[in-house]
Amino acid sequence: MRSIRRYLIVTLTLVLAVATLIIIAVIYRVTHHKAEDVLDVQLSLQGRIVASLLAPGTPEQEYARIARHLDQPGHPSRWFGDAASPEAGQASPQASIARRFHTDERMLTLGFWEADGMPWLMGAEWNDAGPFPAPQQQGYRWETYAGERWRVFSLILDDQQRWLSIGLRERFHDDLSRQLAMGNLLPLLIALPALLLLVGLVVHRGLRPLLSLSRQVAGRNERELGRIRLAVPRELRPLRDALNDFMARLEDALARERRFSADAAHELRTPLAALKVHLDNAMAGERDALPRAYASIERLQRVVEQLLTLVRLDQEGEASAERVNLLALTQTLAAEMWPQARARQQLLSIATDDAIWVEGNVTELGMLIRNLLDNALRYSPHGGWVEVSMGDNDGTAWLVVRDSGPGIDETLLASVTERFRRGSNRDVEGSGLGLSIALQVARRQQLTLQLTNASTGGLEAWLRWPQSAVS
Amino acid sequence: MRILLVEDDPSLGEGMRVALHREGYTVDWLRNGGDALAALDSDAFSALILDLGLPDMDGLEVLARLRRRHTLPVVVLTARDALVDRLRGLDGGADDYVLKPFDLAELLARLRVVTRRGEGRRSAQLQLGALVIDEARHAVTWQGQEVSLGRREFALLLELARHAGQVIPRSRLESLLYGWDEDVESNALEVHVHHLRKKLDRSLIVTLRGIGYRLEVPA
């Protein structure tokens, strides 16, 4: 359906047209049937009147007189009584009163037969192609004569010597029915344009709420995503509510994106600002400024790399999975990070000896655990410790990184994995992206990452594998 | 002049502290909004440099709260460059804003502009009769001769000149000159005043015993 309006208008118009045609056909049929009844009664009545006028013993010359009255122009009647001269039956022109007062007089005629079926008198029309067929019995019948159907009523006269038939062309029935049907069709045809106009108006009115809703939606943009409060008909309510839901989700997503770009700007511009100030200071001869500038660059580099990692994680498809020895992987990472730990005299240890095997992507798992270790080392104090344990209970693998840092404020636990969210300790240099990356990788690897404050202080980062991923 | 710097980033804060100090400002550096509001209530500052991205509360919130009680010049430091953010900052009571990353020279110039605007001055030069102080160049001219002043001496003279003719209490002068960080010898202020009198003119700075000092506007 390419256009509801077109569909409705076309369909309703067709329905109207078909309904009109059906009505006309029914009127025609009913009228035809009813006309036959009425005309039958008329035929019978006229036959009886004629018969009653011809009392027994009516002289034969009387029939000649009747024949003269039945003449019509071009269609002479004929009396067969003058056997001596076959032509004598034709009424003399002087005597004939062949005149038609109404064209429909052609439709009605009558005839007489002798008891043995020989024609006695044929009215106009019934004599044109030889005598009309003789009646076999009294009452109504259909007869075909000269290619046309006639409705015929027959009865025997009182003298029991002759038959009388009186007939009406079928075309008269047809004309009557057609004229009645047409008489009904005309008002309908006149009303049809008005009806179509009405259909158009109704369709237009019916579709108006859809148009209003469209305008409301068209009026929205990324800055104006308020709920549509327009009152709509029941059928449009699900659409309106779905649109509102969609816009609410979109607004959330946009707000997150805006916050992300604002935060990204802050995390990139602040070290840049620091870098510039330190370089200015260095040019002014401050001795400590250059190492500080160098540290700013390292920090900037880290933020840029983390941002790129996040963008890549957002875009990349599913990573391939393989069997990973979690213990071996963690040992490798811990060895890599040993210098970072030793620089602040921190103790980094793994409390598990048994190999744990899981299904996963070794690169992404490595990124995940490295981020957790890095986070733990950063937030642990000088001379503190970080401990990793892992295990495999009931077919569910887990890994936990415990640190000796301050932990995270309970109110911040939920939001700390959001991008750029950090604990309140700003003396630790970090962009707030590490845990966000860890969470994203965990999601990609179908792991749950949970942060809890240990009862002994410090933070615990729990990684749990789903049952099926353990091998 | 004493500046309150509110910046939560350790590296940037340290760099700015060093730079402002080099420029002759007395700098007190705080890392969150709550401490900043408390310090503004208890101490005298010539101007505030406020970062908007603070850990405990939004910088605009700090601005709104301090504006209920204080009129000191505020330069806002922000990474938010959207027009709406800048307008909110200025409407929220900031005298100026500087977008990170900024040029130090620009920040210092803007700082000078907002502080002298607070005194109703338009030029970077402060002229009081024969005494001319150029804030931007840190240069002082007395009776047509350029005078070489130490960092503290310049700061003290500028402070007195900014309120020429008015008595500035000794405690306020000390606070504006030394802040919290530096150990101050009890007679340090007298020493600087003595040097200024020697390099300029004996009658320029009047001592009000036990109260403070006043710069006499030279004829």
Residues pairing with B139 in the sheet: B134
Render pLDDT for B23-74 as a digit per residue (tens, 0 to 9).
888 899 998 888 999 999 888 888 999 998 787 788 888 899 988 888 889 9
Q: Is A148 on the interface with B (CB under 8 A)?
A: no
- Which positions in chain A touch B79 (Cβ < 8 Å)? 262, 265-266, 268-270, 273
Beta strands, E only, B19-156:
26-30, 47-51, 74-78, 96-99, 125-128, 131-134, 139-142, 145-147
State the nearest Cα–Cα gap between A257 and chain B, in angstroms.
14
Contacting residues for A456 by C-beta, under 8 A, at least 6 apart: none
- Specify whether the CB–CB gap between A77 and A121 falls below 8 A: yes
User: How far is Cα A147 from Cα A151, in angstroms, rounded to an integer?
Assistant: 13
Q: State mean pLDDT over B188-194.
A: 87
Q: Is A283 on the interface with B (CB under 8 A)?
A: no
Per-residue pLDDT, A41: 93
Confidence label for A89 from pLDDT (cuts 50, 70 and 90)? very low
- Residue A85, class by beta-carbon neighbours within 10 Å (0-12 exposed, 13-18 middle, 19+ buried)? exposed
Q: Which of A281, A300, A412, A427 to mutate to test the interface with B (most CBs of B within 10 A)?
A: A281
Most confident of A68-77, A273-282, A309-318: A273-282
- Which positions in chain A touch B104 (Cβ < 8 Å)? 276-277, 280-281
Percent of chain A topping pLDDT 90: 22
State the nearest Cα–Cα gap between A281 and chain B, in angstroms.
6
Each as own residue / partner, the long-range contacts of residues B206-211 (CB below 8 Å, 24 or more positions apart, any chain) are B208/B167, B211/B167, B211/B169, B211/B170
User: How far is Cα B128 from Cα B161, in angstroms, rounded to an integer?
Assistant: 8
> A264: which 2 tokens?
């990204």
Which candidate from A265, A269, A295 shows the least CB-CB separation from B11? A295
Per-residue pLDDT, A418: 60
- Which positions in chain A touch B31 (Cβ < 8 Å)? 426
Q: Which of B7, B12, B51, B103 to mutate to test the interface with A (most CBs of A within 10 A)?
A: B12
Q: For A57, which DSSP code?
A: T
> A299: which 2 tokens?
């920090």
Scanning A402-461 for CB atoms below 8 A from B yields 422, 424, 426-427, 429
Q: Which residue of B has its CA nearest to A430?
A: B9
pLDDT at residue B145 tops 70: yes
Contacting residues for A340 by C-beta, under 8 A, at least 6 apart: A374, A377
State the nearest Cα–Cα gap between B193 and chain A, in angstroms.
28
User: How far is Cα A146 from Cα A149, in angstroms, rounded to an integer?
Assistant: 8
Which H or E element spans position B23? none
Render pLDDT for A203-253 as a digit per residue (tens, 0 to 9).
889 888 888 888 888 888 877 777 888 888 888 899 989 988 998 888 888
Per-residue pLDDT, A97: 64
Q: State mean pLDDT over A137-158.
A: 91
Residues A269, B8: C-beta atoms closer than 8 Å: no
Q: How many CB atoms lie within 10 A of CB A8?
A: 18
Residues B12, A270: C-beta atoms closer than 8 Å: yes
pLDDT at residue A414 tops 80: no
Per-residue pLDDT, B59: 85
Confidence label for A84 from pLDDT (cuts 50, 70 and 90)? very low
Pairing of strands A322-325, A119-122: unpaired
User: How far is Cα A458 from Cα A58, in angstroms, rounded to an integer?
Assistant: 140
Which H or E element spans position A170? helix A170-218
Confidence label for A328 from pLDDT (cuts 50, 70 and 90)? very high
- Specify whether the CB–CB gap between A407 and A389 falls below 8 A: no
pLDDT at residue A161 tops 60: yes
Pairing of strands B205-208, B212-215: antiparallel
State the nearest Cα–Cα gap between B11 and chain A, in angstroms.
6
Closest by CA to B215, choosing from B205, B201, B207, is B205
Q: State mean pLDDT over A441-460.
A: 86
Q: Which of A269, A275, A277, A300 to mutate to test the interface with B (most CBs of B within 10 A)?
A: A277
Q: Average model confidence (pLDDT) for chain A?
A: 84
Judge if ipTM > 0.95. no
User: How far is Cα A427 from Cα A215, in angstroms, rounded to an integer?
Assistant: 52
